[in-house]
Chain A
């Protein structure tokens, strides 16, 4: 996978993850192209677009568009499953996730993504293990914070 983008129906970017090294300008250009291309699609068309040498797989969940740029050899149907798995993970974490959750807690959305995908590939295929890992990291952060904020006498 080359990149993962989340954007709203108005074209505002909510999440971006890049798995190859490209310049800021190039990133902005791709984001613009993706948003225009995906938002222009008719409602009942298929979820795959051929773009340059990549396949763009996108899916709409409520008001958010999830957009993946995958390489030529990758399985598009599986990419749809990847998107779905990520949404399930977010849903489990936030409890009935909606766009606002992702806006106000974007860093957590990233943490969850980084437990599920790494370097453009899936790192864990079990939902439960990913959830447990995130919970543990959160726990670690809380205890550390509590510990650090205790006044030292």
Chain B
């Protein structure tokens, strides 16, 4: 076809412009000329002008004044003008423009044109930018064309029908009969179009899906023909016969076989045949194999076939082509939970992919490796993961670190291994770990009393090497403060002991205190550790006293407060110092841990004058025995607890904090209650007292999301007002309480109150909820609490 000279001249002119400004000038001149031409009557050069305009549009300049010209050109009898006009319509007119409606009539006329190429232009444009109204208007025409004898038109009409179904779902019904009959065509183009149309219809409506299940044998037959037949030059791509059609049919089979035994059985043989016969040396073959694997894994296939599919994925993992490794891992990710054992067989290859150059492959390999960690392979996997952590790209560090922690927590073969692993992570990627790592690690250390000596030695050595990783420094300071005496004793069973003098230890802590790399939190840790050492060492108490008093005038308010209070501890309360700074008791692993790593000292019997800063760990302590305060704090989700000093020091003793041990102790303080028994029914009554009943039902919304509905009713003789509910959940669960329907409960169960609670449990912890009920009845305020340990229907 001869090129459009005016168009090419303009393109040349634009390209020769040397600056953006020059280009804009050229384009403005050209646009002005085009606009003038548009206003003139037909001069034979209309298509060139519109083409010029479309080029300008592609460069990013506005071209809306060409819309009406498109409409006019489409209506022209000349094929060349129609061609460019339709192209312009597809580029400039979308369904949001008003002008698009004007071409509906032209399209309608052109659909019945005598020339198939004109018909094809109309079909293509309708399939590209047809709005819902246009589709509704022209659907009968398209259906008629689906039945025509011209396969060129039929294939295009099929895809046009696909677009119509996507835009107006109800029109799907119209095309079902024709779609069915198209499957008996021989022409590949028509067949392909038919398969796409049927896929679209089945995805939209389950009833249509049922009807089309009967076509499974036909589809199997067609596929067999493609796979077994000899070389067909028309459709062959690198030895695979019409891979596009094959893949489409496999996709349709997947949809038809899902959740249906009979259909899946009918396909088993075929899928096995395709899986074994397809040549996998080129991308085409692998594309077909990939689709086959996806289909096998999604339908109810027999186990032998599933193993075959996973093995194909395993082979993909060894392929040189990076793309193929990537998609293999994406697919394995999807099935690692369901076909865990099959995927485990390929663990070695997956772990090797951790060392791949490509960042996306690395990411997938990391996710898969973490999913494959189990009790039996934890040691070797962890070795690999730690190696990966030291060399991994920064964007994957946080994910790798948290994954390693989770795995270590679940499968740690020994405590020492666990502590070693965490320390290793902290030294390599300390900056990327989450905040709760520090208290978690501290809790783990205190729980492992036999390894205190080993731990403190290791941490001390780590501290000497590097003080830049804050979490590590914090933990090290805490341990040195707690177990400084073990460090100074100088002997240790588990590791080589170093002779450490008191001065060395204090030097180390002072370095941390003074370093510009230490955050205020870390300094706090170091100061407290120094203070604790005053009871554990013998000679250098004066040095400690001087350090502490220096910080009494520190600019940082937190440090200053601590220093001042420690000073007070030295001066006025020296007799209490030993008891105050005693060794911490073991922190219980708590289930409802709003706080972490919190515990109490021996409660002091004497009344305490003055305020002494409570022992600080990463999180501030809870107040004791004050039901009101505790529940206030538990009202939200992850709010840190208020520091104890906010509680009027009356009842509390010096350093009493509520033990956050397992629910039992806490509940005793709060006047106990019975946890509700397991209820099999979806709705369970969680609280029933004084005529007030509270029921709970829950519904799983998603993988980790859960909606709990609390319903309250009142069967007493008097009305209840001011009814409020507060809820608390384990630490890793996120909670959101919606507004209650009302806060009044009329007597005799007149009306109920409902409140929705939305929970998100990403770590899938054991879900518990504590609910506080509070209301006013007959002038008196009633408060009560109930704990829900098991959720119905979960």
Interface residue ranges, A against B (CB under 8 Å): 13-16, 18-19, 21-23, 28, 44-50, 73, 75-78, 80-82, 85, 103-108, 110-111, 114, 118-119, 121-126, 128-129, 133, 136-138, 140-142, 144-145, 148-149
Provide the bound-state CA to CA distance between A124 and B120, in Å: 13
What are 30 pairs between A and B in contact, CB < 8 Å?
Answer: A13-B58, A21-B95, A21-B96, A22-B94, A45-B359, A46-B358, A46-B360, A48-B323, A48-B326, A50-B360, A75-B291, A77-B286, A77-B327, A103-B15, A104-B3, A104-B11, A107-B54, A107-B84, A108-B1, A114-B124, A118-B123, A118-B156, A119-B159, A122-B192, A123-B192, A126-B188, A128-B234, A137-B79, A140-B79, A141-B1
Contact of B327 with A48 in the complex, beta carbons under 8 Å: yes
Docked-complex contact B78 and A148, CB < 8 angstroms:
yes
Cα(A140)–Cα(B188), bound, Å: 25
Pairwise interchain contact A121-B196, C-beta atoms closer than 8 A = yes
> Residue B244 at the A interface, CB < 8 A?
yes
Kindly identify, within residues 151 to 168 of chain B, every residue whose CB is under 8 Å from any CB belonging to chain A.
Answer: 152, 155-156, 159-160, 162-163
Residues of B within 8 A of A137 (CB): 79, 83, 117
- Is the pair B323, A80 in contact by a Cβ cutoff of 8 Å? yes
Is A141 in contact with B87, judged by CB distance below 8 angstroms? Answer: no
Contact between chains at B234 and A123 (CB < 8 Å): no
With A104-B11, A108-B1 in contact, do A45 and B322 touch (Cβ < 8 Å)? yes
Kindly list chain B residues whose C-beta atoms are within 8 Å of the C-beta of A119: 127-128, 159-160, 162-163
Of A47, A48, A124, chain B has the most CB atoms within 10 Å of the CB of A124
Decide: A19 near B188, CB < 8 A? Known: A44-B322, A75-B291, A81-B237: no
Closest to B166 in A: A119
Taking the nearest CB of chain A, how far is it from the CB of B767, in angstroms?
Answer: 30
Assuming A13-B60, A22-B94, A44-B357, what are 4 further A-B pairs, CB within 8 angstroms?
A: A46-B358, A48-B327, A123-B189, A140-B79
Q: Does B478 sit at the interface, judged by CB under 8 A?
A: no
How far, in angstroms, from A149 to B80 measured CA to CA in the complex?
12
Say yes or no: is B492 at the interface (Cβ < 8 Å to chain A): no
Contact partners of A22 in chain B: CB under 8 A: 94
B327 to A, closest residue via Cβ: A76
Q: How far is the CA of A49 from the CA of B326 in the complex (A)?
A: 10
Give the distance to chain B from A25, nearest Cβ to Cβ, in Å: 12
Given contacts A123-B189, A126-B188, contact A105 B87 (CB under 8 A): no
Interface set, chain B 329-360, CB cutoff 8 A to A: 357-360
- Distance (whole angstroms) from the CB of A101 to the closest CB of chain B: 10
Pairwise interchain contact A144-B78, C-beta atoms closer than 8 A: yes
A80 to B94 Cα, complex, angstroms: 28
Q: Roughly how many angstroms separate A22 CA and B196 CA in the complex, as a whole number?
A: 23
Closest to B357 in A: A44
**Closest Cβ–Cβ distance, residue A141 to chain B (whole Å):** 5
Q: Knowing A44-B322, A81-B283, A141-B80 touch, does A126 contact B235 (C-beta < 8 A)?
A: yes
Query: Which residues of the partner chain B approach A50 to less than 8 Å between Cβ atoms?
Result: 360
Contact A125 B245 (CB under 8 A): yes
In the complex where A80-B323, A81-B287, A106-B58 touch, is A125 in contact with B244 (Cβ < 8 A)? yes
A144 touches B80 (CB 8 A): yes
> Would you call A46 and B323 a contact (CB within 8 A)?
yes
Q: Which of B94, B128, B287, B327 has most chain A Cβ within 10 Å?
A: B128
A129-B84 CB under 8 A given contacts A44-B322, A118-B128, A138-B1: no
Q: Which of B47-101 contact A (CB under 8 A)?
A: 51, 54-55, 58-60, 78-80, 83-84, 87, 94-96
State the 6 A-B residue pairs at the shortest beta-carbon distance, nearest first: A77-B287, A119-B127, A138-B1, A46-B322, A119-B163, A124-B189
Pick the contact of B323 from A19, A47, A110 — CB < 8 Å? A47
**CB under 8 Å from chain A, chain B span 351-372:** 357-361
* Chain B hits for A138, CB < 8 A: 1
Interface size class, chain B: 35 or more
Bound CA span A23–B96, Å: 8
- Nearest CB of A to B85, in Å: 11
- Check A140–B87 contact: CB distance below 8 A: no
Q: Is B2 an interface residue, CB under 8 A from the partner? A: yes
What is the chain B residue whose CB lies nearest that of A128? B234
B162 touches A46 (CB 8 A): no
B358–A145 contact, CB under 8 A?
no
Contacts of B95 in A (CB 8 A): 21
User: B283: which A residues are within 8 A, CB to CB?
Assistant: 77, 80-81
Question: Are the CB atoms of A75 and B323 closer together than 8 Å?
Answer: no
A148, B83: Cα distance in complex, Å: 15
B80 pairs with A145, CB closer than 8 A: yes
Say yes or no: A81-B159 contact (C-beta < 8 A), given A105-B3, A126-B188, A141-B1.
no
CB distance from B562 to the nearest CB of A (A): 48
B481 at interface by CB-CB < 8 Å: no
A15 vs B3: C-alpha distance in the bound complex, in angstroms? 18
Q: Which of A78, A118, A126, A145 contacts B127, CB < 8 Å? A: A118
Is B251 interfacial (CB-CB < 8 Å)?
yes
B129 near A: Cβ within 8 Å? yes
Q: Are A125 and B189 in contact (CB under 8 A)?
A: yes
Output the nearest chain A residue to B240 by Cβ-Cβ distance: A81
Which residue in chain B gives the minimum CB-CB distance to A105?
A: B3
Query: Given A121-B196, A141-B80: A45 and B360 within 8 A (CB)?
Result: yes
A22-B235 Cα distance, complex, nearest whole Å: 35
- The verdict on B290 contacting chain A, using a C-beta distance below 8 Å, is yes
Q: Is B193 among interface residues, defined by CB-CB distance under 8 A?
A: yes
Contact B87 A111 (CB under 8 A): yes
Q: Mark B25-59, 1 if CB is under 8 A from A, else 0.
A: 00000000000000000001000000100110011
- The A-contacting residues of B in range 1-21, CB under 8 angstroms, are 1-4, 7-8, 11-12, 15
Complex Cα–Cα for A47 and B95 (A): 32
Q: Nearest A residue to B54 by beta-carbon distance?
A: A107
Chain B: CB-nearest residue to A144: B79
If A121-B196, A122-B192 touch, whether A107 touches B291 (CB-CB below 8 Å) is no
User: With the chains together, A111 CA to B95 CA distance in Å?
Assistant: 21
The verdict on B391 contacting chain A, using a C-beta distance below 8 Å, is no
**B284: Cβ under 8 A from any A Cβ:** yes
Q: Does the CB pair B235–A148 fall under 8 Å?
A: no
| Chain A residues near B83 (CB-CB < 8 A) | 111, 137, 141
Q: Which of A104, A114, A122 contacts B244 (CB 8 A)?
A: A122
B60 — which chain A residues lie within 8 A by C-beta? 13, 28
CB pair B128 A19 closer than 8 Å: yes
A124 to B187, CA, bound (A): 10
Q: Is B598 an interface residue (CB 8 A)?
A: no
Find out whether the CB atom of B87 lies under 8 angstroms from the CB atom of A107.
Answer: yes
Query: Which residues of the other chain, B, contact A121 by a CB distance below 8 angstroms?
Result: 159, 162, 193, 196
User: In whole Å, how far is A40's beta carbon from the nearest beta carbon of chain B?
Assistant: 12
A141 to B58, CA, bound (A): 24
